[in-house]
Amino acid sequence: MTSHERTTTSENKTYDHQPVSISPELFDELTHYFKYASSAYSPVCMRPNGNTLVLQFGNYISDIQGFIARDDDRKELVVALRGSASITDALLDANILLVPFITPGVNLPPKARVHAGFLAAWDTVAVQITAALAVQRRLHPGHRLVTVGHSMGGSLATLAAVSLLQIFPASPILDQTRTYSYGAPRTGNEVFAAYINAEFGARAFRVVHTNDGVPTIIPTALGYHHHGIEYWQHVDPPSATTTLRCAAGGEDPCCSARIPSGGVTPAHATYLGITVPTPFCL
């Protein structure tokens, strides 16, 4: 397909786009933030990605855990959320009812709906995270917010980014909140995806490794829709040339959406050459 050709999906949506390889700089950036996502699986991470640990958070009931790190060189506060690692997590994953995004300080379009299990999980740690960030924002007003996560953690990172963007609006001189997800399932409906695309645009990075079946394990037939932009590493080994930037609409038929979900495939356990849960905590 050339850049001038059009692809029409079964939903009668037309994409004027051809996936193109990303730059080496962007590939390094995606790898950098995945190290946080992988480290979130560690019970304790004293120096996430070599940076300052602000808070190691968790909730025993929901079994959600992660950390907040501060990178003073990049001037960032990074919220990393762990993916599924227990039966409790699996039960949250399975609660796929689409519900309104009701959480303190957040106001989304009326028809926006999100995964009930992921929202319940986020709500169990949201207060811990926002309280710690409020202190850090006062101490470090020049630091931007970044959320990251793998698998369910990627979906939680998306919900976290939406919440933090509204609770902590960026000043005009700062880059706004960014979010990076790796192997994340669909998180909400098309209205929610459109909201993410409008508010974050190119600041929302959604990475998929080859035939990882988790990003498509919740089908669009249930009302779900991915946000963009997807970065699809379509073949191994990982590199800038083998990683494609897909259409911003979220369900690019030229990228991973064209592969039927095989569930939790081996590709889900490795991203950008890093095996989950490799810790980067020194």
Domain boundaries, the chain: 20-275
Angle, CA 280 vertex, CA 278 and CA 282 arms, to 5°: 140
The reported pLDDT for the residue numbered 85 is: 86
Percent of the chain's residues with pLDDT above 70: 93
Closest CA to 257 of 177, 193, 162, 179: 193
Distances (CA, A) of 223 to 14, 57, 109, 153: 19, 32, 16, 21
Confidence check: pLDDT of 1 > 60: no
Residues 226/257, Cβ–Cβ less than 8 Å: yes
Residue type, 51: N
Q: Is 137 exposed, middle or buried (CB count within 10 Å of its CB: 0-12, 13-18, 19+)?
A: middle
Residues 63/156, Cβ–Cβ less than 8 Å: no
Phi/psi for 121 (5° steps) reads -65, -45
The reported pLDDT for the residue numbered 15 is: 52
Confidence check: pLDDT of 98 > 70: yes
The reported pLDDT for the residue numbered 10 is: 38
Distances (CA, A) of 165 to 23, 130, 152, 194: 27, 11, 20, 15
Q: What's the predicted TM-score (pTM) here?
A: 0.93
The reported pLDDT for the residue numbered 104 is: 85
Cβ neighbour number for residue 37 with a 10 Å cutoff:
33
The reported pLDDT for the residue numbered 18 is: 87
The correct CATH number of 20-275 out of 3.40.50.11260, 3.40.228.10, 3.40.50.720, 3.40.50.1820 is: 3.40.50.1820
Q: What value does the mean pLDDT take over residues 103-118?
A: 94
Phi/psi for 142 (5° steps) reads -90, 0
Cα 179 to Cα 227: distance, rounded to the nearest angstrom: 12
Confidence check: pLDDT of 200 > 70: yes
Distances (CA, A) of 45 to 31, 135, 222: 18, 21, 37
Q: What value does the mean pLDDT take over residues 209-213?
A: 98
Q: What value does the mean pLDDT take over residues 235-239?
A: 98
Q: What value does the mean pLDDT take over residues 177-194?
A: 98
Written as six digits, the tokens of 65 are 């855990």
Written as six digits, the tokens of 61 are 């009931």
> Which residues have a catalytic role annotated?
151, 212, 268
Q: If residue 21 lies in a helix (H) or strand (E), which one and from where to where?
A: strand 20-21
The reported pLDDT for the residue numbered 240 is: 98
Per-residue pLDDT of 25-72, as tens digits, reads: 999 999 999 999 999 999 999 999 999 999 999 999 999 999 999 999
Query: 3-class SS at 142?
Result: coil
Q: What value does the mean pLDDT take over residues 5-31?
A: 72
pLDDT, mean over the chain: 92
The reported pLDDT for the residue numbered 173 is: 63
Q: What value does the mean pLDDT take over residues 253-277?
A: 96
Confidence check: pLDDT of 247 > 50: yes
Question: In angstroms, how far is CA 154 from the centroid of its own chain?
Answer: 4
The reported pLDDT for the residue numbered 16 is: 60
Confidence check: pLDDT of 90 > 80: yes
The reported pLDDT for the residue numbered 30 is: 98
Q: What value does the mean pLDDT take over residues 265-279?
A: 97
